Every structure is written in structure tokens, then in C-alpha cells.
Structure 1
Amino acid sequence: MDNCIFCRIVRGEIPSKKVYEDELVFAFHDIQPQRPTHILVIPKRHIASLAQVTPEDEPVLGRMLSVAQQLARDNGSADGFRAIINTGRVGGQEVAHLHMHIVGGPDPVGPMLKKI
């Protein structure tokens, strides 16, 4: 996707504070962190959201999850972290490129959801 902001970050057209890259995924610090540790992990190939994945995407999804613990530990969240994938409008997805937030820090993250 030519205009996708995350695709442009992967291609180096938009600067980022990269923390990890391999043949499948790219990870960088969020520009508006919500916690002391806030990293985005994205597939290098454009996938709009978790709602659009196919069985062929299993290797990249597995890689996203498998690098999460190392990224969290290396970036100040050795005692735990939260991995979040927002999906679609109802799920709060703001960028139409699959991405996982790794959030944490020295203090507990807090409740997962507000009770209604």
C-alpha cells in the first residue's frame, strides 16, 4: 500500500525509532507512548487487520508473538507486559495495517477493560 503510514515506515520513507527487524516483521517505539514501554510490532507485508489474515499469514503472526517477550524485556518490561491487537472500528484500530502494541514498564499496566 503506497500511502499506508506503516508501509512507509518499513520502507524507510518515514523515520522511526526501530528496535527490531527481520524478514517478516518490523518493530519500533510508538510516537505517542501510553506506558514507559510502548512498542509497535508490524508485519513488513501489508495486512490491513487481524480480520483479514489467512492461513498463509501464520508465520508472520507467530513471529510477531515470538519476538514480543524479547522486545518487552529489552525495553524495560522484564516483569511482564501486555500485547494488544486492536481490530477494526469497534476494536479501536486507528491504522489500517495490522499491528501489535507491546506495553508495560515497571508498574502494573492496570485493568484490561472498563466494566460496563
Structure 2
Amino acid sequence: MGCLGNIIWLIFGGLVAALVWMLAGLIMCITIIGIPFGIQCFKIASFVLWPFGKEIEAGNFGIGGLFLNIIWIIFFGWEITLIHLLIGIVLCVTIIGIPFGIQHFKLAKLGFIPFGANIK
């Protein structure tokens, strides 16, 4: 199911979403201050590209990660999380969309607190 789910995910929006995350990462890396946020966008883009079969483990961040997560939440995180939650809820209305909705819930978790999250 993982490989088939990833292929369907890529065809129906996963590739576009990964490219958007990569573009956001490139834009954020223009300034020195934005580089840590751009790196997180690249990590999220790699997860968005092939999400089935991967899990997210949040936590394991120090004081620097906490500070960066707070800045992320204020400027980027809450909007991204809200969008992924709404898309996930809409997809979970149908039985066929439930696996894709679950992936959007994972993306919402990663989009809210990216610093210190491990993708397994």
C-alpha cells in the first residue's frame, strides 16, 4: 500500500506540494536569518514527496529549537497547520480519501513544529 499510495499521492498533488515547499525553502534561504527555516522547508519537502511509510516523531529540541519553533509558529506554522488540517478533514469525508487525509494530518504536525522533529 505504501508504494501505491505514494505514487497516487505524487500524481494528485504531492509533487506540486513538494515543489512549493522547495520554492519556499529557496526563498527563505536568500537571507542568512532565513537559512534555518529554509532547511526545514527542504526537509518537509522531502517528506511531502514520499509520505507513506514514514512517521514523524516530534520533540527532541533544545532552547534554540524552542525559540525557532516559536518564531516558525508565529509567522508560518499556524497557517500551514490550519491548511493541512482542513484538507485532511475534507479528504477524510470519503473512504478513499482517508489515507491521504492522514498524511495531511502528519504534515500539519510537521508544519506546526518542524524544529526537532525526526522523520522516520
Identify whether the pair has TM-score above 0.5, normalized to the shorter chain: no
Using the size of structure 2 for normalisation, the TM-score is 0.32
Q: Which has the higher strand share?
A: 1
Q: Which has the higher helix share?
A: 2
